[in-house]
A = this chain, B = another copy of it.
Amino acid sequence: MAIKGNLVVGQSGGPTAVINNSLVGVVHEALEQADIGGVYGMLHGIAGVLNEEFTDLGKESAKTLADLRNTPAAALGTVRYKVTEKDYDRLVDVLETYNVRYFFYIGGNDSMDTTHKISLVAQQRGYELQCVGVPKTVDNDLAETDHCPGFGSAARFVASAIRNTSFDTRAMGTSGPIKLMEVMGRNAGWLTAAAALAKEDADDGPHLVYVPECPMTAEQVLADVERVYKANGMCVAAISEGLVGPDGKPLFKSGGKKHVDAFGHASKGDIVGQLAEMIHAEMGVKARVDKPSYLQRSFAELMSPVDREEAYQAGRAAVKAAVAGVTGQMVTLIRQKGPEYACTTGLAPLEKVANAERKLPRDYMNKEGNWVTKKFLEYARPLIGGPLLNYGRLQVHPVPKAK
């Protein structure tokens, strides 16, 4: 029999288009569980626990919860606070004070680390607390799961965006034939690689994708762009914000200040702007850039229906597992074998996920490291939830030239 008590759920790290689906999944399942009393949301993640700022999610209307499933970003507010060792006792104190017996954290690997440590401290203190993580990240870099809720929708946005900007680039002809789009993913190239899903015809953009897992010199990128441009009269490339050189350092020395976030992650410089300047200087051809930045993770209009449902089910599965006595685990997505795409949920120990990073496997990229393989396309295509809009192309029937 499950322990009786209250539940808290929080959202952490960068928001996604579907993270609220996981929240609603937790709430819907919790409301059906007799042993769960109050269903509380932490306002701004773990900071909401430290500050005792909880909202009673059980009092939200069914309509609000339904609308949240269409709504991007984190309805509870998120946080990028690095929990310190001395915070953990305080966290468990607060949870105990509010008779919280179920703790759910929707987030990436830093959040899984936090969840893992809370579960350990609670165990040490003999306080019964079921802690289950719900995976979330557009970067798709969590270990132990086939993919992460949030990735499919961001991938759908990135593929659509680069397809649209490729059509624009082709239309512009000689007046702007090179386009570079910067894609999110500080250390992992999953989302940048997803740009390749936009390519339908052989000469369609994008033509090149550059990911952190395949280091490149600026000269290699320039040579690739030049080759594609000569062959096609245009070139569209998706470039990870985290692309580095063979020495692991940014391709260009930064003129500006370096920013480091609360977790010690350094932010990268303006890589596409600098590459565009180099291309213009070296090739004499104008290169244009798109930096959709935060739109990639928040563009609810392009939510993948597959991603939406999986995010929701991951939330429900976390509650079911906790009520069944599971703790210290993260919900995972397990792809089923067979011709049709299908996923079920599973569980993996938080300690295996915490602070691990799952990079794009080397065989998902070609030998040159500038394009994806069939294996990647087969992996990623089902996740974006159906084909992109059907676009037309003129066949072009040349009118015979007059003599």
The residues of A with any CB-CB pair to B shorter than 8 Å are 11, 14-15, 20, 38, 40-41, 43-44, 47, 52-57, 59-61, 63-81, 97-98, 160-161, 164-165, 167-175, 179, 256, 259, 261-262, 270, 273, 277, 286, 288-295, 297-302, 389-399, 401-402
Contact = CB atoms under 8 A, between A and B. Distances in A.
A390 B68 CA distance: 9
A303 to B, nearest CB: 9
A98 B167 contact: no
Given A71-B167, A164-B72, A397-B55, A78 B391 contact: no
Contact of A172 (B15, B41, B64): B15
A290 B288 contact: no
B55 A399 contact: yes
A70 B401 contact: no
Contact of A402 (B20, B98, B277, B295): B98
Contact of A72 (B67, B79, B167, B291): B167
A394 B55 contact: yes
Given A71-B167, A168-B73, A55 B396 contact: yes
**Closest 9 pairs (CB-CB, A-B):** A67-B392, A73-B167, A54-B399, A73-B171, A74-B171, A164-B298, A68-B392, A80-B175, A59-B397
A273 B259 CA distance: 14
Given A171-B73, A293-B288, A160 B52 contact: no
A55 B295 contact: no
A9 B70 CA distance: 41
A54 B398 CA distance: 6
Given A80-B172, A160-B301, 6 more contacts: A77-B172, A78-B171, A79-B173, A161-B299, A164-B295, A291-B292
Contacts of A74: 171
A64 B395 CA distance: 8
A298 B167 contact: yes
A74 B170 CA distance: 8
Contacts of A66: 392
Given A68-B394, A76-B394, A38 B98 contact: no
Contacts of A393: 64, 67, 71, 75
16 contacts: A44-B174, A54-B398, A54-B399, A60-B397, A70-B390, A72-B167, A72-B168, A73-B164, A75-B392, A164-B299, A167-B298, A175-B262, A179-B294, A290-B291, A290-B295, A295-B295
Contacts of A394: 41, 55, 57, 60, 64, 68, 75-76
